[in-house]
Structure 1
Amino acid sequence: MKKLPMLIVGAVLAVGVATPVAVFKTRSGHPAPAPSPSPSAVVPPAVNPYQRAVDAAHQTGLRVWLETDLVKNWLAGPDQFRAAVFTLGRLAVRPGVVGIKIADEMGYHDGLDSVAKVRTFLRDSATALHAAAPGKLILIDLLVPELGCLPDHDPPLRWATICAVQQRGLYPQLALDKVDGYLGSHTVDVVDLSTDLLPDNTYYGWGVDVPTAQRTAWGEVHTRGWDRMVRLQARKALAHPGDYATSNADTEAALRTYVDIPRKEGAAAVDVWTWRQRYQGQIYRLLDPGLKHNVLWDALVSRRQQGARLFTHLSPSSLEEGLQADLAVLGQVFTDVFVAAGTG
């Protein structure tokens, strides 16, 4: 799931928005989701796979989020950035779209390798999208390596302290205090957060376990007030190649760590990667091939029945049996879906 200086773009002067639209705010100061277009609003017929996927997901009852790598477009220069924002603006008017995901693991091996770049990217993106897609929530995917190092664990652990120093040295743009500033800038509304937990054996060597590390990470999040700045969600890659081979016990342990604990700690939702995607030369899925259920899927169904709000990712270019068939099954577990926006 980990992804392998430019002129400041202004308010995206030409994004195809004919008239200004008011941006309604929540009490926290973040834009509230825009309602679906009114019956009098003219929504063009779907003419490409991305528009059809958005429409079909909405008709299935899912909340739709557009997914794009706006970082890549921003780094490529103003013209490509404007073109991507224009595409997002056109898609965002379709019924059911509540927000736009603009970055995958922002600042982690994606070219945003300094605090200045991250801040400018967020500012430019917020300015552009508030003009092109008023009222839509802006979401980033964020991996914070230092959170896996038992921050503020009581008592302090020597190896955890060394871990934190090393991670700050490797990723200064993702240091905890820098993330404080990004979220405090109110340029994003929702964060899908990875606490970047370390292997089980590492924590065992420190005298703790993985669930403790997860609770400690989320405790640090609350201490820093991130949940008061944005809506926080958890995220975890659970897709697999071929048939699912993990035992029921190990599956439940993973879901307790990556779904149940974050929810108990206040995560508004959990993003589960991914419905179906080619990755490192193989097809990764949550189900087994042919939309067949497995232990993981049944465990996710159980979480949905317990009230979990769950996200996943779908691209119209990577379907198991077809758009309608895939969405019918996807909707058994997921409440929200990131639909690829086709911005390149």
Structure 2
Amino acid sequence: MRRRRLRQIFVLGLALSLLGIGVPAWSEDDPRSCNDLMSGDTPAYVVCRWMATPDEALDIARWWLANDGERLESAGPVDGIGVNCKDPGNVCPPLENDGVGDGEAHDGGDPDVEGAEDGGTPECKAGEECFVSPEGLSAEQISTAMESTTGQAVKTAVAAGLRVWVDAELADDWKAGKLDEAAQRVAALAAQPGVVGIRFTRQLGTGQTFQSADEMDTFVTEATARLRKLAPGRKLAARTAVPLFGCGADDACKTAMTQKYPLLDPERIGAWLAKGRIDQLALDGAHLGSEYATWKIDAATAQRNQWVQVRARAWDAYAQIASEDTTLTTVGAPQLTGEQVTKAVTEHVASPIQDDAAETVTLPSRSENEQGQVTRLYGEKWAANATWDQLKKLAEVRPRLATLYDAAKPEVDAATDLKALAEVFGQVYVQGD
């Protein structure tokens, strides 16, 4: 029981010690101000303030958990206000069909139309069989997609209990004038039951596809507009990087990063979120360990700077923010000791979540280059590995952990691989075809 209480204190204290954006610090001497992490040209409306120090958070947690958690267990929502329609003087409107639905009660998750389970073919009013599909997709396209290698991997991932995204790169197709064809192919894969959404680009502004920021804006606008129609109800995600954020308040660093990465303007990226173009934005952290050595900014500081900037702009008010990190993967298989793994997991998995900036952390688990060189997060053919064993212990944050899976290049086979991945991750981005 004592261990359980200590863990509750840790979790509650962690939640209450996060860096929050709140009332502006009116004085430079305010002990709760973290404006020193912001640059001098930061707009006045962007402020940074500690909501609770770790010591304060621990005191709060102890108060709630005192007397074996008596206060925590007794706390609860206020009873709702109800009206008894049978009491004298109370008048309740009759529950009528009013032409909506079939007038019958259904359980949550039941199909709207009988026979429509799993994308089936419900019977039309006239008695014939019909198919109701997203705008611009045919039943044949969806069926073909489901039978493809990627489609089967998607189905297997859903069965393994994973939250599934279809992962694609539409930037090159857009550049080649083939956006519609590529978007239909991806949307057909995403039409399967259990698919959460589509990540439509992995190199937004970081590759060689776009020559200008306006060109990149056009791609985001056109790609998301087309996918909204082809895949209604599915979330749209993108992966990019904002090297400027790692600089913190170092103006020389900021100038250099702006010149080196002119397309990765945080104001432009923030506008995509504010306009509802993107539902999830993943920030790649590959550059955080080496990009800032000139200004003596180490990896931990660069990462802290990045998440402070994300929080200050309240990006999470518009979309889900994710962190993507390849630090733990190694050519062949990781050879870290238990102590090294613990340190790496703390820095690259726990910190982004603890900093209340990233809702999820994506750890690519396997990749293969054109020369056939394989980089893994686990042992070859799922052999025992200290890194993987340590990750399996993170059960409490499993829903927040995501990975990538290339259906065309399995470690063993889709069933074996996805079952193993589900032991660590709650979400997967399925690539392939």
Give 1:67's match in structure 2, choosing from 147, 152, 167.
167
Q: What stretches of structure 1 of length at least 5 have no aligned partner?
A: 1-33, 153-159
Q: 1:140 aligns with which of 235, 238, 262?
A: 238
Contact 2:402–2:428 (Cα < 8 Å) also in 1: yes
Structure 2 residue aligned with 1:81: 179
Q: Is the 8 A contact 1:54 1:339 kept in 2?
A: yes
What SS class does the counterpart of residue 182 from structure 1 fall into? Answer: helix
Matched, 1:58 2:158: yes
2:267 is matched with 177
**Correspondence list, 1:281-300, <5 A:** 281-300=372-391
Matched residue type, 1:316: A
Shift of residue 117, structure 1, vs aligned partner: 1.3
1:97-246 pair list within 5 angstroms: 97-149=195-247, 151-152=248-249, 160-195=250-285, 196-199=287-290, 202=293, 206=296, 209-237=298-326, 238-246=328-336
1:303 aligns with 2:394: yes
Say if 1:101 and 1:138, in contact at 8 Å, map to a contact too.
yes
* Contact 2:391-2:424 within 8 A present in 1 as well: yes
Aligned counterparts of 1:128 and 1:67: Cα–Cα separation in 2: 16
Residue equivalent to 2:352: 262
Q: Is the 8 A contact 1:276 1:286 kept in 2?
A: no
Query: What secondary structure is seen at the aligned counterpart in 2 of 1:328?
Result: helix
Shift of 1:215: 1.9
Structure 1 partner of 2:411: 320
CA distances 1:143-175 after superposition (whole Å, capped 9, x unpaired) = 1111222x23xxxxxxx3222111101111102
- Give the Cα separation in 1 of the matches to 2:334 and 2:345: 15
Q: Which residue of 2 aligns with 1:39?
A: 117
Q: Does 1:95 align with 2:193?
A: yes
Give the root-mean-square deviation of aligned CA atoms. Answer: 2.5
Q: CA separation in 1, counterparts of 2:111 and 2:425? A: 20
User: Secondary structure at 2:380's aligned position in 1?
Assistant: coil
Q: Match of 1:49, as an amino acid?
A: T
Task: Evaluate the alpha carbon distance shift between residue 67 and residue 188 of structure 1 in structure 2; reply closer, same or farther with a 3 A threshold.
Answer: same
Which secondary structure state, in structure 2, belongs to the residue aligned with residue 302 of structure 1? coil
Instruction: State how far apart, in whole Å, the 2-side matches of 1:216 and 1:139 are.
Output: 23
Q: Which has the larger radius of gyration?
A: 2
SS state at 1:273 partner: coil
1:308, distance to aligned residue in structure 2 (A): 5.2
- Partner amino acid for 1:251? V
Q: Which amino acid aligns with 2:231?
A: A
On the 8 A contact 1:211/1:261 being kept in 2, the answer is no
Contact 2:289/2:298 (CA < 8 Å) preserved in 1?
no
Is this contact kept in 1: 2:169–2:201, CA < 8 A?
yes
How much has 1:226 moved relative to structure 2?
Answer: 1.3
1:212 to partner: Cα distance:
3.1
Q: Aligned equivalents of 2:176 and 2:292: distance in 1?
A: 41
- How far does residue 306 in structure 1 lie from its aligned partner after superposition? 4.4
Task: Please give the alpha-carbon distance, in whole angstroms, between the structure 2 residues aligned to 1:197 and 1:35.
Answer: 46
Q: 1:183 to 1:304 in 2, by over 3 A?
A: same
> Cα 1:284–1:39, aligned 2, differ >3 Å: closer, same or farther?
same
Q: State the match for 2:9 in structure 1.
A: none
Distance 1:328 1:307, change over 3 A: closer
Supply the distance in 1 between the matched residues of 2:398 and 2:160 (Cα, whole angstroms). Answer: 18
What secondary structure is seen at the aligned counterpart in 2 of 1:290?
helix
Give CA deviations for 1:81-128 in whole Å, capped at 9, x if unaligned: 111111112111111111000111310123123210121111101110
Q: Distance in 1 between matches of 2:384 and 2:211?
A: 41
Question: Which is further off, 86-95 or 61-70?
Answer: 86-95
Give the secondary-structure state (helix, strand or coil) at the position aligned to 1:252.
helix
- Show structure 2 runs of 5+ residues with no match: 1-108, 121-141
SS for the counterpart of 1:130 is: helix
Structure showing greater relative contact order (alpha-carbon pairs closer than 8 Å, 6 or more residues apart): 1
- The answer to whether the 8 Å contact 2:333/2:375 transfers is no
Structure 1 residue 272 displacement after superposition? 0.6
Q: Per-residue deviation at 1:202?
A: 2.5
Contact 2:162 2:427 in 1 (8 A): yes
1-structure distance, mates of 2:236, 2:176: 21
Amino acid at match of 1:121: F
Write the distance in 2 (CA, Å) between the matches of 1:254 and 1:115: 35
Residue identity opposite 2:303 in structure 1: Q
> Which residue in 1 is equivalent to 2:100?
none
Moved over 6 A (4+): 34-37
Q: Tell me the SS of whatever aligns to 1:98.
A: strand
Task: Report how many aligned residue pairs link the two structures.
Answer: 297
In the superposition, the TM-score normalised over structure 1's length comes to: 0.79
Q: 1:91, 1:318 → 2: CA distance?
A: 18
Aligned with residue 339 of structure 2, among 233, 237, 249? 249
SS of aligned partner of 1:174:
coil
In structure 2, C-alpha distance between the alignment counterparts of 1:67 and 1:213, rounded to whole Å: 28
Q: Secondary structure at the match of 1:64?
A: strand
